[in-house]
Structure 1
Amino acid sequence: MSNTTLRKIDFSFLRAVELTAVLLIAMMGAAVTTLMPLLVGAYSDSGSFTSVQVGWLTSADVAGILLASTSAYVWSRRVNWRLVTLISLSVFILCNYLSTITSEFEPLLLVRFFAGVACGCAYALSLCALGDHKNTDKAFGALVTIQVLFGTIGFWLLPEITAQQGFSGIFHFFNLCLIPALILSALTYPSNSKTQSHTVMSIDGSYYAAALIFFGVVAYYFAQGTVWAYLERIGVVANLSGVEIGQILAVGFALSALGSLLSGKCVAMFGRNAGLWATAVIQLPCLLLLYNMDSQHAFWIYAITTIIYQVMWSFVVPIMMAIFNDIDKSGKLIALCIAAFKVGLVVGPPVAAVVVSIGHINDVIWLGGIAIVVSIVLCIVANNHLKQRISSHNVSA
């Protein structure tokens, strides 16, 4: 075998290692959001925290990720990716370990916030690396696939693990997935291929429409911070076992990929507004059934409604992101879409916790339903404003 052939094999192997490392990190960047129902359940079952404290603990990781991912707009193209990633992953792993030996609220809250910051730094750089990939469609497609696989495995296995180990089991599971990412990143990691030419946020489009879609996405993810975060608790109140809930959520998470596949076809045939309305029309009855669920038929009602709910979540997010992207011709606004996701997820759990503390667990369902309606209306108004702007531009041209 010639030296040229060997060099090609070595290069291909290194590229495969790089991509695997990036995908594992990006997978873990969404881990807290993905497994949020189990995290809320584990915190609650520990008996160490009040319902309000559970809400704040759930938001702590997301708040750290929000801070890191938002600030990454400024620093992501100015740092040594490999060095920052190795430091971030090491801190993330350390914080997860400290979380397994910490049971007091204030120290755990602080540890989880720093875990979120470390996670967010590594996550932001992994998304930049995937964006620089020569085939971004395949790269982001692989990301969705590995995140769905992670969520499916997590929902299937963790209920039994947390029943034995409490919330520590979740953080051990995180580290089990993070250590391979750290090892691979130490071997090789992509380098920044683009220089950052801007530090000031400005867009080439309507700030009014940008504000509408931003707060529309915030409202939708506020609903997820209420309904999704407390979905495990809702099942427990309906007398479902932790294993049954985990299996149902695992199946729903696996099937949710169908939503993103159907989204593009629906938009092509009927337009974005139709897709947005369809989300509200389908998700709201699911929430209504969930709210009025009786123990006799709880298993099937919970299974059917949560699976459909997850499919429609995957269905509507690409539509929201497309509106987000098209409002700004410069392509910079889309960077704040992740921030909008996280703002909703930071605010949702504490608000839901307060509602639960003064009412009933099912009250988070109507809270989430209102947020979904607000979100869909804001997104439709933003999309209509975008269409009018495009139409007027075409006329003037």
Structure 2
Amino acid sequence: MSVRKIPTNHPLAYFFLAFIAMAGLSYINYLPSVVNALAGGLGFSDAQAGQVVALNGYGGLLGSTIAIFLVRRIHWQPAMYLFLALLAVIDISTLWVDHYGVMLGWRFLAGTFGGLCVGIGFSVLARLNNPDRAFGTLLLIQFSIGSLVIYGLPSLEALLNAYAVFGVMAGFVALSLAMMPFLPSLPRDNKSAESSMPLPEWCSNSLLLMLAITVYQIAASAVWAYVGLIGLGADIDADHVSLSIAATGLLGLLGAMLPVIGGKRFGRLYWVIAGVVLSVISALLLSMSPLTPLLYVTAMALLFFSWPAVQSYLLAVTAEMDRSGRLSTIAAVVSSVGLASGPLLASSLLDHGNFTVMLYACALTFLSSCFLVLKPVLAQEKTGTEEMTSQYQ
């Protein structure tokens, strides 16, 4: 009995593809819970916890890099089946790993297969007709999953143990495997509508855009990795910290909905700049002393609202610059660089539980991404306007 395929432009196709792209490195969405589990119930130090998630991220970088050379040469569905199945086995096997050195290597391996899934997933999302909706849906799912897991994981850990977070990772991968049979086939390379931008300018703008994505992800993931410990370090009750992160994470849904609903009708640049400014304010609020529960919640709300909006708009620009999906796969790589480097940077700037230096560094890093993004986003908006005008002439 054959499974009925979902049409390519159906909302469920966008949802399923975005969910599968998310599942490869799903731990990023509830990173504070992973860090808290490693540094709490599993007995690793704060610095060791940051290094484990950093190695997991660098494995994602390796996998996404390999995917750059695969996306134009392979059929994405058989490859995704294989890599998801291997990732599920590794995530489940982590339940029996308790040695620090083994944990580092095992999570690096998990990151490698997860990165392959993410890289292939990004290339498929980029080939859909509406990249703003595709990547907005991806970020919408990421923040929904993050809030749900952060809220429910403490109860699950109390019922099972601190390793429950790795069971959650495996569950998302298994669900992705269940979605795969319903997805339509897509061509390996969609070469429609090459950019009218001169090649040197295209290369320059692509480089600036990749740097902007990397720099923003470094700062965001650095704050995200330690936001739970920042709250605990300010003597905020642990239950209040978990509830606050979960509740404010729901604002990420609103940020992700901006490109899903509005697309690029009102331009992307203003949304990106506004999101970066809100991210800077968030890092500065978290650095204040004393950090009150109100300041803590406000800071997280600003970050969680702006993060998905900024990333989805930048990824949509990437998809429009190269419809084959390869540049979007490169964006997955540089995003992995940022997500892996953020916790590593944060762990190197910790000072015996003092997060001030780390947060100031994150604020400056956010700000630098704002300057990097100006030229490529403006150029792509201009190119898109010219192409649209030529179609009606």
Q: Distance in 2 between matches of 1:170 and 1:89?
A: 18
**1:348 aligned residue (335, 339, 342):** 342
Residue of structure 1 in register with 2:114 after alignment: 119
Q: How does 1:201-350 map to 2 (within 5 A)?
A: 204-206=199-201, 207-262=203-258, 272-294=268-290, 298-325=292-319, 332-350=326-344
Moved more, 216-225 or 384-393: 384-393
Q: Distance in 2 between matches of 1:386 and 1:136?
A: 14
Give the Å deviation of 1:171. 0.5
Q: Distance in 1 between matches of 2:186 and 2:34?
A: 34
Give the Å deviation of 1:51. 3.2
Q: Distance in 2 between matches of 1:140 and 1:273?
A: 16
Q: Structure 1 vs Structure 2: percent identity of aligned residues?
A: 22
Moved more, 311-320 or 226-235: 311-320
Q: Distance in 1 between matches of 2:106 and 2:309?
A: 34
Give the Å deviation of 1:29. 2.5
Residue of structure 2 in register with 1:365 after alignment: 359
- Which secondary structure does the structure 1 equivalent of 2:355 belong to? coil
In the alignment, is the contact (CA less than 8 A) between 1:42 and 1:166 conserved in 2? Answer: no
In the alignment, is the contact (CA less than 8 A) between 1:55 and 1:351 conserved in 2? Answer: no
In structure 1, what residue type is equivalent to 2:283?
L
**CA 1:351–1:391 in structure 2 vs 1: closer, same or farther (change >3 Å)?**
same
Residue of structure 2 in register with 1:200 after alignment: none
In structure 2, what residue type is equivalent to 1:76?
V
Q: Distance in 1 between matches of 2:316 and 2:186?
A: 26
Give the Å deviation of 1:161. 2.9
Aligned positions, number: 377
In the alignment, is the contact (CA less than 8 A) between 1:96 and 1:171 conserved in 2? Answer: yes
1:89 aligns with 2:84: yes
Residue of structure 2 in register with 1:151 after alignment: 146
Q: Distance in 1 between matches of 2:229 and 2:317?
A: 34
In the alignment, is the contact (CA less than 8 A) between 1:209 and 1:327 conserved in 2? Answer: no
Q: Distance in 1 between matches of 2:171 and 2:4?
A: 28
1:100 aligns with 2:95: yes
Q: Distance in 1 between matches of 2:15 and 2:323?
A: 32
In the alignment, is the contact (CA less than 8 A) between 2:20 and 2:176 conserved in 1? Answer: yes
In the alignment, is the contact (CA less than 8 A) between 1:233 and 1:361 conserved in 2? Answer: no
In the alignment, is the contact (CA less than 8 A) between 2:255 and 2:306 conserved in 1? Answer: yes
For the aligned residues, what is the CA RMSD?
3.7
In structure 2, what residue type is equivalent to 1:343?
V
Give the Å deviation of 1:318. 3.4
**Residues 94-144 of structure 1 deviation map (CA, whole Å, 9 limit, x = unaligned):** 211222111211111111111112222233334444455677776655544
Residue of structure 2 in register with 1:54 after alignment: 49
Q: Distance in 2 between matches of 1:327 and 1:133?
A: 14
Q: Distance in 2 between matches of 1:58 and 1:125?
A: 22
What residue ranges of structure 1 are gaps of 5+ in the alignment? 1-5, 198-202
Residue of structure 1 in register with 2:374 after alignment: 380
Moved more, 42-51 or 29-38: 42-51
**Residues 313-350 of structure 1 deviation map (CA, whole Å, 9 limit, x = unaligned):** 12322343355456668875333222221111121211
Give the Å deviation of 1:390. 9.6
- Which secondary structure does the structure 2 equivalent of 1:35 belong to? helix
Q: Distance in 1 between matches of 2:281 and 2:178?
A: 46
Residue of structure 1 in register with 2:195 after alignment: none
In structure 2, what residue type is equivalent to 1:346?
A
Give the Å deviation of 1:262. 4.1
In structure 1, what residue type is equivalent to 2:216?
Y
Moved more, 311-320 or 368-377: 311-320
Q: Distance in 1 between matches of 2:286 and 2:339?
A: 21
Which has more helix, going by share of residues? 1
Give the Å deviation of 1:194. 2.8
Give the Å deviation of 1:178. 2.5
1:11 aligns with 2:8: no
**CA 1:344–1:383 in structure 2 vs 1: closer, same or farther (change >3 Å)?**
same
Q: TM-score, normalised by structure 1?
A: 0.80
